[in-house]
A and B are shown apart, each in its own frame.
Chain A
């Protein structure tokens, strides 16, 4: 059942992604101001959306673990965070490459970019520190607290381009300001959908690995007891 769901999500996500890439590269015209480079938007933004959704699920999982002390929630949180961190890296790298063409620089230390980098570093810290704690309950509790603490940065990343007095080079949110041409909206949302489906498949695979790790711990205890 789990494998079927993983393959179905992955396959549908990949097919939508392939169709979308064909549309983005072969059908859509160049953007008037940016030329061809605007096409990075179709992976840059969906990567951020997928990551934000997964960070939110991880937050819920972390809070639920602290309340119920059920390890299934801890597994869910850590699986989501690992996949989300990978997508955050995609977002940062593609954004930097876009910035190199549009601004002439690879990086700007403004609110949006810096808060997104901090987000990446916080969750990377979560993933690196987690294996350092051996005792499962202590590890899950510390991970949950760190995950809740790290999530504080997400609203800052989200709002950084919406605050009027925020000095940011990052473009304003195109969906809310109407900066996205109607013919770009379909491929944009299809891109978001494909990234969500693919990230869902990855989380399920990662979740299975967390369960296997837990089973390994219990078999190891059995080996020592015998």
Chain B
């Protein structure tokens, strides 16, 4: 029982951190992509204005 208990405790914590870390990576990547796109669009506006 104790071994199974510890194994599933490990699964539980691992799954939780995996979900949180995957979300944080998604959040950071999306942010970087959006910042790049915004800079590109602003440059495009400047180009067209000039």
> Interface residues, chain A, CB within 8 Å of chain B?
34-37, 39-40, 43-44, 47, 83, 86, 89-90, 93-94, 97-98, 100-101, 202, 205-206, 208-209, 212-213, 215-216, 219-220, 222-223, 226
11 additional A-B pairs beyond A44-B12, A93-B15, beta carbons within 8 Å, are A36-B5, A40-B9, A40-B13, A90-B15, A94-B16, A97-B12, A206-B27, A216-B41, A219-B42, A223-B45, A226-B45
Closest CB-CB distance, B23 to chain A, in whole Å?
Answer: 5
Task: Tell me the smallest distance from the CB of B28 to a CB of chain A, in Å.
Answer: 8
Query: How many residue pairs at the A-B interface have CB separations less than 8 Å?
Result: 82
From A35, A47, A219, contact of B38 by CB (8 A): A219
Question: Residues of B contacting A208 with CB < 8 Å?
Answer: 31
Contact status B13-A219, CB under 8 Å = no
Q: How large is the interface on B (under 10, 10 to 19, 20 to 34, 35 or more residues)?
A: 20 to 34
The answer to whether B12 touches A40, judged by C-beta atoms less than 8 angstroms apart, is: yes
Cβ-neighbour of B5 out of A101, A209, A226 (below 8 A): A101
Instruction: List residues of B whose CB falls within 8 A of some A CB.
Output: 1-2, 4-6, 8-9, 11-13, 15-16, 19-20, 23-24, 27, 30-31, 34-35, 37-38, 41-42, 44-45, 48-49
- Asked whether A209 and B48 contact (CB < 8 A) given A90-B20, A101-B8, the answer is no
Min Cβ gap A83→B in Å is 8
Is the beta-carbon distance between A43 and B13 smaller than 8 angstroms?
yes
Q: Contacts of B5 on A, CB cut-off 8 Å?
A: 34-37, 101
* Given A101-B5, A206-B27, A226-B48, A90 contacting B16 (CB threshold 8 A): yes
Most chain A C-beta atoms within 10 Å of own C-beta, residue among B16, B31, B38: B16
Are B11 and A90 interface neighbours, CB within 8 A?
no
Chain A to chain B contacts (Cβ below 8 Å), 11 pairs: A37-B12, A39-B9, A43-B13, A83-B23, A90-B15, A94-B15, A202-B27, A209-B31, A212-B31, A212-B35, A226-B48
The 10 A-B residue pairs whose C-beta atoms are closest, nearest first, are A226-B48, A97-B12, A219-B41, A40-B12, A35-B5, A86-B23, A36-B5, A101-B8, A37-B5, A212-B34
